[in-house]
Every structure is written in C-alpha cells, then in structure tokens.
Chain A
Amino acid sequence: MNEDLLRVEDVAIEFRVHDSVVRAVDGVSFRVRPGSTVAIVGESGSGKSVVSQAILGILPKTARIAQGRILFADPKAPGGSIDIARLDPRGERMRKLRAAGISIVFQEPMTSLSPVHTVGDQVGEALALHEALQPAELAARVEDMLARVGFPDPRKAAASYPFELSGGLRQRAVIAMALICRPSLVIADEPTTALDVTIQAQILKLLKDLQASLGMAVMLITHDLGVVANMADEVVVMYRGRVMESGTRDDLLRRPRHPYLKALLRAVPRFDMKPDERLTPLREIRPETGHLLAAREEWPAGADEAGPLLRVEGLTRSFLVRKGGFFEKRTETRFLAVDDVSFELRRGECLGLVGESGCGKTTVSKMVLRALSPDSGKVLFNDRGRVRDVHAMGPEELFSFRRRIQFIFQDPYSSLNPRMTVAESIGEPLVIHGIGDEAWRREMIAELMKLVGLDARWAGRYPHSFSGGQRQRIGIARALALKPDILLCDEPVSALDVSIQAQILNLLKDLKQQLGLTYLFVSHNLAVVDYIADRIAVMCRGRLVEVAPREALFRRPVHPYTRALLAAVPDPDPDRRLDLGALMEGRASVPAAWPMPFRLDGTEQAGLVDLGDGHRVRARRGATAADILSGRAA
C-alpha cells in the first residue's frame, strides 16, 4: 500500500494561558504508514503528547489546533481521508473514529483505569459502543482479547478490578482495551515508562506480536531512545514543539544530523562506555567549592582500620499484609521485604543498589538511615574510627549521626516544601543543627547554590519557579549543607529527562570527588548505575543475589536474575536489539524458577558464594565457586 494511514501536515497547536497564547506545537508534519511503527521522540515539554491528543481529538479545553491538517485514511471506511483537525472533537464522527479507528495506550495503567469498574467492563465498553453485540458475544470477545494480551485466566481477569492486578498485568489490560475494536492505528503514549525493565521488555514484545497478528500501525511516543531502537521503523524527533529530524530508525540513530539528536544520543548512559568517558548533557555544571565547603574535617589516620564506613549485617524486615474482603475474615500474612541483606560501603566509593520495584531496595535504604527499624540485623557506622550500631544509638548520638548521612529523594517536586524559599530549604538543616550564625549561614547557602550550579541570587525564590532538574539540584544542595560523609541517593534521576539526567549524574560524580563523598545509589536503571557506581549489588525479592565490582558484573554476570535484568535493558544502538524471545516470560524474578544451584524454593539454605575479586553470588549452600562458574548444579 502506498497510501499513508495518517498524515499530519504542518500542524500548530496553541494553548490559552491566562491572557496570552502559547504555541506548544508549531508546524509539525509526519506520516504513519499502515502497519508500521513510528516513534515520536522528545523530552518533556516537546509537545509529543499534545500531538497525540490532537489526533484523537482529546486536547484539553484550553488548547486548539491553530493550523494544519490531520488526515486519517481509515481502511475500514473507504472513501478518502478525513481531516481530524476540522472535526468537532465532541461530535459524533470524531467519537465513531475513536477506539474503532484510532485508540490510545496511556503511560500510567493505574490512573488511566477506573478503580471501581471491573477490567471486563472497561475493556468491553468500547466494543459495546461501536458494535451491536449480545452480552454473551461481548463477553467472549473480551475474554479472547484478554487471552491475546497474555492473561492466563481471561474469565477471572475480566471480573477483577485494576487494583487487584500487578503493574504489568494492568498495562496488558489497558492494551486489551485499546485493541478490542481492532483499530488501524494505536497511539502508545510512553506505554512502558512506569514499568520495570523486565516487564517493559515483555510489554514491548507483546506490542510487537500483536502488531504482527492484528496488523495495526503503532505511533509510539517515548523519551527512551533504547525503546525506539527496538521498536520503531521510522523516527520523528521533537524539541520544543517542532520536528528536529525525521527518517528511518537505522538512518537516524546511526547518522544523526541534527545537533539536538546528536546531543541526546551523547547524554544516554550506555553499557559500552569507556571507564573515563563522560556523558555530555545539554548544559554542563561545573561545581565550585568556596572556603566554607572546602574546609573539611580530616579523616584521622588509621581510622579506616576500624572497618568500612558503613557495614550492613543481616538486615531483615517483614511487613504485615492484610488481605481479604471487608465482610470476610481478614487474613494477615507476613511479607518478607528484606531478607538477610549484608553489604559494606567503603569510604569514597559509590555502591549501586539495583533491583525492580518491590525488591526491597528502598526498605534497605530506609533502615540504613534509621527511618525504619529492622526485625533483626545491624547497621554499623564507622565514625572516624569509632564503630557504632546505628540502631542502638541514643537520641543525642542519633542526632549527631544525622549530620553524617543525608538523603536525596526521587521526586524533586514533592521533596521540596512549596512554601519555603530555596534559601530556607537549603539552610534548614543548618538551623536544626544550630550551625553557624545568620551571616555564616547566608554565606554557606550561597556557596551551596554555587556548588550545584544555581545562581545565588535565586535564593529568595520558591520551588515552583524552578524546573525538575533545578529542583533536584536544590535537593542536592540541601543534602550537602551538613557536609555529610554519606549521601543516600534513592532513584535521584529517574524522574528526569535524559539530558537533565546526564547533567545530574555528572554533577554527582564531580561532587563525590571534590568533597570526598561516599554514595549509596539506589536505582532500577542498570545503565545509570553502570555509569556512576564502583560496585553494584543486585537485589531481588528482598534478597541480595549478586555483588560485584562494576566491570565484573557487566562483563560476567553469573546470577540468572542479573542476566535477565541486563538482557532486558534496551540499548539505543540499533545493532544491539533486545532478544525479546529470550526473556524468561516474566519468570526471571521468581526464585523457584531459577536454575540450579540458584533455585530457592523456601526450604533450602542459601548464602553468598565468593567467586573471587569481590564478586559474590547467592546460591544454595554447598555450591562452590567452581560449580557456579562451570554452570554445574550443586
């Protein structure tokens, strides 16, 4: 077929903001051919989602299509193409087009589903709307679709509510909802951004398989160049409402011409980076230390002999989970969130703690901070030669310990008090600990802001006038105010755009060197951890499964979970596509499905086996390093 399914021609979209008009999309043109996948790539604010909303006629009330045509040639309704831009978005023709002709998969499966209606109801709704079907026929079609997207028991799935499903299954339900009417075009708006990497790989595979069997075209909206390399036939790169560059995937990713795309590609952390290679953010920050920050308490000679800076020994923590209905008897089960986790954090290193959501990595970091107490286990902190158990400290000792370890949060929006100025936020730790007088604090705040590349004249502003990346830097400045030894970073860049992520990662790297900091870096993103960490610890289901120096872990991963995790990360290099067939069908994080000698089914004894050079892996008791390396069962 040579006719295009969708042709977007010179489209501009304007938003009314108070009394002025902002052009969010300006002169965008691209096309989607039947059955192909077109990726629209851009960072937040590039207008990529707005374009997709315009195609479906679901723009917010304040927005309007100012110019251009959106031509959709529905093969199911022959007779030329329709200009969507000229349809009444609330009119009947637009409504008929939705779901049946064009449908959408949103980013957040939890919020894009109604919590009080069953999955079957919501999936079948569009079908009932567009086709006159008997209830039994409708139910059969819904179950057929749910089976296609991979629900093992479609009938049960149809009767369940979204909150009863896991994140991956929820997104499958959303995909079923989008495909139930067999549309010719599916818009997937960041369909995997909210998911873990292994789940992401499964959903991407599902989308590809469904596309092959149902023959629909996919318009994939994403910021992840790795996803693009694995999914797209053609790519459109957007920046600030305009198309920067477009073309076939191979052409674009191998030979980017536009400086923006080149810069974006240089900002993505990759596995094959050289040891001293730096990411190139769009704007680099050069941290500067003033005389207040530079003056650091010297580490006494011989203090390191007392042990590593932080040693975690056998941390275990379980939570009580209440299950069961409102009217039925409730059952309480204990859920082991963290199971016998031990590791050490050496002075001056960055230890990456990696795992998927729910693996217990945040629980561990909270226990290190003593924001949560463990059921058993110790957190030993080497305070300049004196080793103290963090969880046995008295109130005063704990108060002074707080100065030694500080926290950087994931979400730069909710971690700053919107009613406090930047200076108040950054200076608060100093006030709490009664450090310095008014003038000293003012100077310190100015120095801290300079350190993270913020203009000290902005000290009186409130957080809402800063971007996400700037807010994250305010958070970093606040964490550094007390001159801590350890920074605990919990997913500090996962809410940020790629180019900002590169900037923050570089800043953290520089700060670590200049201020002699030690990091515990918690993340789900292996490429990010690869870039910043010296050693990496991998967690799965509350257990530490593998600890190794960075190069060893990436060069020679031993544990099946680590391998699955590494295999699931999409690489922006089109020559290194994901082996979607090799995924363990979501069983990589099921300890009972691991091959011997790693298999854990609840009865066996297991521990970390030393493979030499600081590389340790969790296996059944009795397994030796030689067994594991040769791949033999214990």
Chain B
Amino acid sequence: MIAYLARRLLVMVPTLLAISAIVFFIIQLPPGDYLSTMVEELLAQGEKPDGERIAMLREQFGLDRTPLEQYLHWVAGLAVGDLGWSFEYNLPVSQVVGEKLVMSFLLAFAATLLTYAIAFPIGIYSAVRQYSIGDYALTFVGFIGLATPSFLIALVVLHFSNAWFGTPVGGLYHPEHAEAPMSWAKLGSVLSHIWIPIVIIGLSSTAEMIRQLRANLLDELQRPYVVTGRAKGLTERRLLFKYPLRMALNPFIADIGSILPKLISGSAIVGVVLSLPTNGPMLLRALQSKDMYLAGSFLMIEAVLVVLGILISDIALALLDPRIRLGAGSEK
C-alpha cells in the first residue's frame, strides 16, 4: 500500500511539470503581456500612459525577461509553495485566491450534495420503473434541464426574484457586509443568498447524473446475479440496494477526479451572472487581463486537485471493488 502510494505520488511530479509548461505556454500565446494590455486600456480611455513608470513596472514584474526565465522563476516558486504575485490586485496570489477559496468550496460542496440528493432517488426510480409515466415525466424534465444552460436559469431567477421579492440576488451577501469581517449577521446574509446559486449550480448537473445512473442501473438490473438474488427470496428493495446499485456506483466514484477541481473553480459563467465572490469569475478576469501568475497558479491548483482526485478515486474503487483490489489476473 505504502509503496503503491509512493509510486503514484512520484508519477505526479512529471505530470504536473508537463501541465505547468502547457498552462504557461497557453497563457503566453496571445500577444502582449499584462502591462501592454493595461497601456491599451488606458489609451482606449484617452489617457496617456507614463512611459517611465511602465518601464519600471516591467522590470519590477520581471516581464522584461525571456519567457523561459519567467517560466523557470514561476515553477521554482511553485515548488516551494510561492504562487507568485498578482499584477492586478497587487497582492500575492495566495492571498487573492485564498479569500475566495472558502466561498467557492462552500458553494460547490453544497451544490454537489444537492445534486446527489436529487439525482439518486430519481435515477433509481427511473431505472426500476422504466417506461412508467413517472419515468417519462422525470426524463422529460431532465432533458429540459440538460438542454438549458445554467447561466440562463441564473438570469431568469435573477429577474424574477427582483421583480417579485424586490431583493437583489447578486452576490453571496448583502452589499453592506462586503468588507465586514465574518459575523452572525453576515452569516445570516450568506445563508439567505447562497441557496440560489446552490440550486442553480446543483440542478445543472442533476439531469446528467440522473441519466447516467438510470443507464448504469438498467444495465445492472438485467444481469443474471439479480435473478439469482430474487430466486433466493430477497425482497425487491434489499435486492436492489445490495447488488445492482452497488455495481452502478463505480462510475460515480471514478468521477471524483473531476468533482474536486469543480469544488474550487465553480461554474464561472453562473458566477459572473450572479456576481458571486468565487474563483470562477476571478479566473476569467485574470485570463482576460493577462495577469499571468494569478491565472497560471490558479490553474495549477486545479491540476493538482485533478491528479489527487484521480488518486483518491482509484483508492476508493480498490477498496470498494475486490476485482480491482485483488487483481483479477490481468494478462498481457
């Protein structure tokens, strides 16, 4: 077990190095850098940029060095936990990201739980009562959910809550708490606001999960071992939970690898629409303004989470499925 973990962790190093190179390369692809983008914005606004100050900043930010030097500098920093400096916020990246990390995590975690809570009962019902009226109705609703982009739902909710309740739903708390430290009042405000993005983000993946669970379960329900269980005299409910449902879970556990990064980045577009203080909109902004260390480091955090998530799901699968744990004689 320990040797296995050590091997897996070791393999992560070259993987992450490769990802860092690709991330940095892609961020560098559009012409110009943060300062030239800023100069253009200033010119567009009719202001005259101060050439000397720009040159000073360029040297200070290290933008006058070659891309390779910049990359090595960044990666060397990452290796010791220094995520770099955000040009736009004029703060260390760790501070910029950290502030929003808690909110993003809270939001996404709740949304994921909601997704599971809705999708599992419906998915099981749809599979067990295949082609019943209930299955058709839920399938119909599910397909509408699948076909509607979540930012659209966000806009609709935004409009109606404003028109009917007169409350602005943007953000996660009332504007008066924006700069205030955490307090009971602020927490209350968060709780009264947060359910809207939770429902919107949570519902967006529910439909997909219902369909996936239904398909998996339908496959498993017609396996001979289900008939064997029935022939033993098991009740339908116990039979369902002990055998086919257990087998249908594997793909969801394998999915942990993609859930983890979602937890911190959230859905960017919904975040923008609802002006949530989460990481999604921040990443979008950082990419637009070429705030390269902020964008790059943030993407690297996601990459680490993907790789860790896959490791966690591999271990969870092995613990759950003896075929993987005991190695059913793979031949070559």
Could you tell me which A residues sit within 8 Å of B by CB distance?
56, 58, 90, 95-100, 103-104, 106, 108, 111-118, 122, 125-126, 129-130, 161, 163-164, 174, 177, 319-330
Known: A90-B236, A106-B227, A111-B224. A325 touches B325 (CB 8 A): yes
Residues of B within 8 A of A161 (CB): 322-323, 326
**Contact at A326–B234, with CB atoms within 8 Å?**
no
**Contact at A129–B325, with CB atoms within 8 Å?**
no
Find the B residue at minimum CB distance from A113: B225
Residues of B within 8 A of A56 (CB): 231
Could you tell me which B residues sit within 8 Å of A by CB distance?
1, 3-4, 223-225, 227-236, 242-243, 246-247, 318, 320-332
Residues of A within 8 A of B229 (CB): 114, 125
Residues of A within 8 A of B235 (CB): 95
CB-defined A-B contacts under 8 Å, sample of 8: A114-B243, A114-B247, A116-B246, A125-B232, A177-B228, A322-B332, A323-B327, A325-B325
Known: A56-B231, A326-B318. A112 touches B224 (CB 8 A): yes
Known: A90-B236, A95-B235. A326 touches B329 (CB 8 A): no
Residue of A58, A118, A125, A330 touching B327 (CB-CB under 8 A): A330
**Contact at B233–A163, with CB atoms within 8 Å?**
no
A322 to B326 alpha-carbon distance, docked (Å)? 11
Find the B residue at minimum CB distance from A89: B230
A108 to B225 alpha-carbon distance, docked (Å)? 10
**Contact at A99–B233, with CB atoms within 8 Å?**
yes
**Contact at A111–B231, with CB atoms within 8 Å?**
no
**Contact at B225–A126, with CB atoms within 8 Å?**
no
Residues of B within 8 A of A103 (CB): 231-232
A114 to B240 alpha-carbon distance, docked (Å)? 12
Q: Among the interface residues A99, A114, A164, which one has the most CB atoms of the partner chain B within 10 A? A: A114
A103 to B318 alpha-carbon distance, docked (Å)? 33
Nearest 6 CB-CB pairings of A with B: A98-B233, A327-B1, A126-B232, A112-B224, A326-B318, A95-B233
Residues of B within 8 A of A112 (CB): 224-225, 227-228
Find the B residue at minimum CB distance from A178: B231
A90 to B3 alpha-carbon distance, docked (Å)? 50
Further contacts, 6 of them, CB under 8 A, given A104-B228, A113-B228, A125-B229: A112-B227, A126-B233, A325-B325, A325-B326, A326-B327, A330-B327
A285 to B84 alpha-carbon distance, docked (Å)? 81
Residues of A within 8 A of B327 (CB): 322-326, 330
**Contact at B232–A116, with CB atoms within 8 Å?**
no
Residues of A within 8 A of B228 (CB): 104, 106, 112-114, 122, 174, 177
**Contact at A116–B322, with CB atoms within 8 Å?**
yes
Find the B residue at minimum CB distance from A161: B322
Residues of A within 8 A of B4 (CB): 326-327
Find the A residue at minimum CB distance from B227: A58
Residues of B within 8 A of A329 (CB): 3
Find the A residue at minimum CB distance from B244: A114
Find the B residue at minimum CB distance from A53: B227
A156 to chain B, nearest CB (A): 13
Residues of A within 8 A of B234 (CB): 95, 125, 129
Q: Among the interface residues B3, B320, B327, which one has the most CB atoms of the partner chain A within 10 A? A: B327
**Contact at B329–A116, with CB atoms within 8 Å?**
no
A107 to B311 alpha-carbon distance, docked (Å)? 38
Residue of B224, B242, B325, B330 touching A108 (CB-CB under 8 A): B224
A164 to B233 alpha-carbon distance, docked (Å)? 26
Residue of B223, B230, B322, B331 touching A321 (CB-CB under 8 A): B331
**Contact at B324–A129, with CB atoms within 8 Å?**
no
**Contact at B247–A116, with CB atoms within 8 Å?**
yes
B205 to chain A, nearest CB (A): 26
A133 to chain B, nearest CB (A): 15
B326 to chain A, nearest CB (A): 5
Find the B residue at minimum CB distance from A102: B231
A108 to B228 alpha-carbon distance, docked (Å)? 11
Residue of B1, B225, B328 touching A163 (CB-CB under 8 A): B328
**Contact at A129–B233, with CB atoms within 8 Å?**
yes
Residue of B230, B247, B331 touching A322 (CB-CB under 8 A): B331
Residue of A106, A174, A326 touching B326 (CB-CB under 8 A): A326
Residues of B within 8 A of A320 (CB): 331-332
Residues of A within 8 A of B231 (CB): 56, 58, 98-99, 103-104
**Contact at B224–A322, with CB atoms within 8 Å?**
no
Residues of B within 8 A of A129 (CB): 232-234
**Contact at A326–B325, with CB atoms within 8 Å?**
yes
**Contact at B323–A163, with CB atoms within 8 Å?**
yes
Known: A116-B322, A163-B323. A130 touches B3 (CB 8 A): no
Find the B residue at minimum CB distance from A106: B224
Residues of A within 8 A of B321 (CB): 116
A49 to chain B, nearest CB (A): 11
Q: Among the interface residues A116, A125, A324, which one has the most CB atoms of the partner chain B within 10 A? A: A116
A161 to chain B, nearest CB (A): 5
B228 to chain A, nearest CB (A): 5
A45 to B229 alpha-carbon distance, docked (Å)? 24
A418 to B72 alpha-carbon distance, docked (Å)? 55
Known: A98-B233, A322-B331. A114 touches B225 (CB 8 A): yes
A95 to B315 alpha-carbon distance, docked (Å)? 38
B26 to chain A, nearest CB (A): 35
Residues of A within 8 A of B328 (CB): 163-164
Find the A residue at minimum CB distance from B247: A116
Residues of A within 8 A of B326 (CB): 161, 163-164, 325-326
B127 to chain A, nearest CB (A): 13
Residues of B within 8 A of A325 (CB): 325-327
A327 to B227 alpha-carbon distance, docked (Å)? 33
A633 to chain B, nearest CB (A): 37
Residues of B within 8 A of A58 (CB): 227, 230-231
A130 to chain B, nearest CB (A): 7
**Contact at B243–A96, with CB atoms within 8 Å?**
no
A417 to B69 alpha-carbon distance, docked (Å)? 56
**Contact at A326–B232, with CB atoms within 8 Å?**
no
B227 to chain A, nearest CB (A): 6
Residues of A within 8 A of B3 (CB): 329
Residues of B within 8 A of A115 (CB): 225, 247, 322-323
Q: Among the interface residues B224, B231, B234, B328, which one has the most CB atoms of the partner chain A within 10 A? A: B231
A118 to B323 alpha-carbon distance, docked (Å)? 11
Known: A326-B4, A327-B318. A100 touches B233 (CB 8 A): yes
Residues of B within 8 A of A328 (CB): 1
Find the A residue at minimum CB distance from B2: A327
Residues of A within 8 A of B246 (CB): 116
**Contact at B232–A327, with CB atoms within 8 Å?**
no
B54 to chain A, nearest CB (A): 57
Residues of A within 8 A of B320 (CB): 116
Residue of B224, B232, B331 touching A98 (CB-CB under 8 A): B232
A607 to B318 alpha-carbon distance, docked (Å)? 46
Residues of A within 8 A of B247 (CB): 114-116
Residues of A within 8 A of B325 (CB): 325-327
Residues of A within 8 A of B331 (CB): 319-322
Find the A residue at minimum CB distance from B131: A61
B329 to chain A, nearest CB (A): 6
A92 to chain B, nearest CB (A): 9
Residues of A within 8 A of B1 (CB): 327-328
Residues of B within 8 A of A116 (CB): 246-247, 320-323
Find the A residue at minimum CB distance from B222: A60
**Contact at A321–B227, with CB atoms within 8 Å?**
no
Residues of B within 8 A of A324 (CB): 327
Residues of A within 8 A of B223 (CB): 111
A115 to B329 alpha-carbon distance, docked (Å)? 14
A371 to B229 alpha-carbon distance, docked (Å)? 41
Known: A319-B331, A322-B329, A325-B326. A99 touches B232 (CB 8 A): yes
